[in-house]
Structure 1
Amino acid sequence: MTADVWLPIAADEIDGLPGASASGLTYRFWDGGPDFPADPADCAFYVVPYMKGMETAIRPLTAMGSLRVVQTLSAGVDHVTPGLGDVPAGVALCNARGVHEASTAELALGLVLASLRGIPGFVRGQDREEWRAGFYPALADRSVLIVGYGSIGAAIEDRLAPFECARVMRVARSARTTERGPVHALGDLPALLPEADVVILSTPLAPDTHHLANAAFLARMKDGALLVNVARGPVVDTKALLAEVESRRITAALDVTDPEPLPAGHPLWHAPGVLISPHVGGSTSAFMPRAKRLIAEQVARFAAGEELRNVVLTT
C-alpha cells in the first residue's frame, strides 16, 4: 500500500528523498495551483506551498483523511493552524526551523543599520544629487531588545555580536537562562522597553502576541528608539504605530505589515522614519537548498518511522 507525499518542489529536484519503490511513497507535485495533483484523501505527508497564503495552505486539508504530517517551509505556522480542525487526530505539524534563521537575521541587522545610519535618505539624496552630510546614529554603544528569542532571535544576536552594542536584552514567552545571559518573560517587557534603543520583533504570531506591540507597548519605548518587525504584521498594532511615527517620537523598519501586502495609498508608505521591505526575510538564495534538505530529511524520517524534527504541535 502506498502513501502520497505532496511537495511544492518537484521530487527529482530534491536530493536524498527515499526511493518511491522502496519506501512505498508516491510523490505528487503541488505548488498551490487550482488543480490538485491527485486525490487529497491519499495524502499522508503534506508540504505546504511556500508564501502562497492561508487560503492556499489550508484548501486541501479538509479532504486529507489519511494525513499524518503537515510540514511548512516557513518558521511561522499561523497560516496553517486555522485549518487543522479538519484533519485527523494525531497529525504532526512541523515548521521550518533551520531554514530561515540566517536570512531573516541578516535582514533584521540590515534594517537596523539602514535605519540608524540614514541609508534611505542617502538613496533619496543620490536620486536628487544632494549631499546629505551630518551626524547619524550608530549601532555601537546602543541597547538592543530582541522580543521573540527562539532560533531566529538567537541568530539575530549572533549577528549583533561584532557591532559593540552596549547591551542585548532577550524576551521569550517564558524566562530561562542561556550562555549569553538571561531570557526574560513577556511580562517583563514594560520594564525593559524604556531601556532599549532598538526593539526587534521576531516572535511567532499567536493569540498572546497578536498586537503585542500595541499603544501601551510603543508608549513605553524611549524617545528616538527604533522598532524593527521581522515577525508577522499583526504582532504590531498598525494604527498605534502610525500615531507614534507620525509624531516622530520613534522610527520603524518593517519587513512585515498589517495589512499585507501593504496596499497603495496606505499611510505607512510615506510615514516619517519608516523603512519598509516587502516580506523578504526568508526569500533569499539560502532558502531553496535549505528547504530541500529539510524536506528530504523529514520524508526520510517519516518513511523509516523515526521521530520527526521541528514538531510544533500534534492534533
Structure 2
Amino acid sequence: MTRTAWVPHESVDAAAAALGGIPEGLRVVPFPDADQLPEDPALVEFLVQPYFSGARALARVDEMVNLEVVQLQSAGYEDVLPAVPEGVRLANGRGVHDTATAEIALGLMIAHGRNIDVAARNQSAGRWEPMPGRSIADKHILLVGPGNIGRAIQQRLEVFEPASITLVARTARDGIHAFTDLDDLLPKADIVVLACPLTDDTRHLLDAERLALLHDDALVVNVARGPVVDTEALIAENGRIGAAMDVVDPEPLPPEHPLWTTPRVLISPHVGGMADCFERRRDKLLAASLRAWLAGERLPAEIDLAGSARR
C-alpha cells in the first residue's frame, strides 16, 4: 500500500535529496505554500506544515479525511493545536531550532549589553562614539524554560562566566525552581532569559507586577513567545529596564506600534530559527519522523496531546 505525505520541498527530486531518498511505499507531494494545496486534501495522510504558516495549512482540515499526522517545523505549536482534529497525531520541530535560537538569544544579549545596535545606527551617520557597555560576565541570570532550547542557551552562557544561572520551570525539581518562586527570584536577576512555551501558565508570565520587581537596568531577553511578556506593561516601564526580543506581541509588530520606540528595547523580527543550519536539521527530523510513521512507531518529536484544547 502506498502512503502519501505532503512535504515542504519545492519538488519530489528536492525532497528525495534532502531526505536521503524516498522510503519504499511512500509518495511525497511538494507542499511549500500553505495557501495552495497541491492536490485533493482527502489524499494526504502525513502533512508537514510549511514554515511560518500557522494553522493556514489546516484551513481545509475537514476535507483531510485520511490525515494521521501533522508535523510542524517549529518548536511552538499553540497556534496550530486548535485546528488539529481528534485522533490526529501532532509532532513539532523539537531539536531543530535549539542551536540557532540559542545563538539569537546570546546575540541579542550581547548586542543590547554592548550597545551594538546603537553603534550600527551611528555607522550609517559616520559617527564615532565609544560607549561603555554591560557584560554577561559576573551577572546573575534567570533562565525561564530549561527545555531543549533553554539548555542550549545555558550551555553557551556558561562560557561567558556569569555569577550564576538559575533555572525556572512550571514545576520545581532537582536544581530547578517553580514559576511560583519568580517573585522571590526576579529582584536578584540581572538578566532574565525567556525560553518557555506559551501556555495558560506562561501568558503574561512577566506582567506589570513582575516587571516592577526587576531592578533598574535589568535586561529581559525573550526568545519564547511574544505574549509571555505583557507588552503594554513593558512599554509603561519606559526604559527603566532593558529588553532584547526576537518575539513580540503582536506579530508582526505594526509600524506605528509604540514598542518600536520604547527606550532600551531591541527587537529582531522572529528570526531565531531562521539560520542556514535549519533546513539540514529539519530534513534529518522529517526523515526520521516519516520512517517512524511508516513503521507504526512513535514519532521522534511527537507531542502528548492528552487533555489539550484542540478540535
Task: Give the TM-score normalised by the residue count of structure 1.
Answer: 0.91
Quote the residue 1:240 is aligned against.
233
Secondary structure of 1:107's counterpart equals helix
Quote the residue 1:292 is aligned against.
283
Quote the residue 2:219 is aligned against.
226
Quote the residue 2:177 is aligned against.
184
Q: Does residue 119 in structure 1 map to residue 110 in structure 2? A: no
Secondary structure of 1:93's counterpart equals strand
The one-letter amino acid of 1:71's match is: Q
Q: Does residue 131 in structure 1 map to residue 119 in structure 2? A: no
C-alpha deviation, 1:52, in angstroms: 1.8
Change (3 A) 1:223 1:183: same
Structure 1: distance between partners of 2:13 and 2:297: 23
Q: Where does the alignment leave 5 or more consecutive residues of structure 2 unmatched?
A: 307-311
C-alpha deviation, 1:62, in angstroms: 2.3
Structure 2: distance between partners of 1:211 and 1:106: 24
Structure 2: distance between partners of 1:107 and 1:138: 16
Change (3 A) 1:33 1:157: closer
C-alpha deviation, 1:17, in angstroms: 4.5
Secondary structure of 2:45's counterpart equals strand
8 Å CA contact retained: 2:19, 2:286? no
C-alpha deviation, 1:33, in angstroms: 4.5
Quote the residue 1:80 is aligned against.
80
Q: Does residue 34 in structure 1 map to residue 35 in structure 2? A: yes
Deviates more, 1:100-109 or 1:130-139: 130-139
The one-letter amino acid of 1:309's match is: P
The one-letter amino acid of 2:82's match is: P
Q: Where does the alignment leave 5 or more consecutive residues of structure 1 unmatched?
A: none
Q: Does residue 259 in structure 1 map to residue 256 in structure 2? A: no
Structure 1: distance between partners of 2:248 and 2:48: 25
Q: Does residue 47 in structure 1 map to residue 48 in structure 2? A: yes
**How do 1:147-158 and structure 2 match up within 5 A?**
147-158=144-155
The one-letter amino acid of 2:227's match is: P
Change (3 A) 1:134 1:264: closer
8 Å CA contact retained: 1:11, 1:17? no
8 Å CA contact retained: 1:215, 1:241? yes
Change (3 A) 1:6 1:312: same
Choose from 158, 161, 166 the match for 1:164: 161
What per-residue deviation string (whole Å, max 9, x for no partner) do you get for residues 94-113 of structure 1? 11111000000000000001
The one-letter amino acid of 1:44's match is: E
Secondary structure of 1:312's counterpart equals coil
8 Å CA contact retained: 2:34, 2:57? no
Structure 2: distance between partners of 1:148 and 1:313: 18
Secondary structure of 1:138's counterpart equals coil
Q: Does residue 145 in structure 1 map to residue 142 in structure 2? A: yes
**How do 1:208-223 and structure 2 match up within 5 A?**
208-223=201-216
Q: Does residue 274 in structure 1 map to residue 265 in structure 2? A: yes
8 Å CA contact retained: 2:115, 2:131? no
The number of residue pairs the alignment matches comes to 302
Choose from 195, 199, 202 the match for 2:195: 202
Change (3 A) 1:160 1:33: closer
Q: Identity across aligned pairs (percent)?
A: 46
Change (3 A) 1:58 1:221: farther
8 Å CA contact retained: 2:75, 2:94? yes
Quote the residue 1:103 is aligned against.
100
**How do 1:295-314 and structure 2 match up within 5 A?**
295-314=286-305
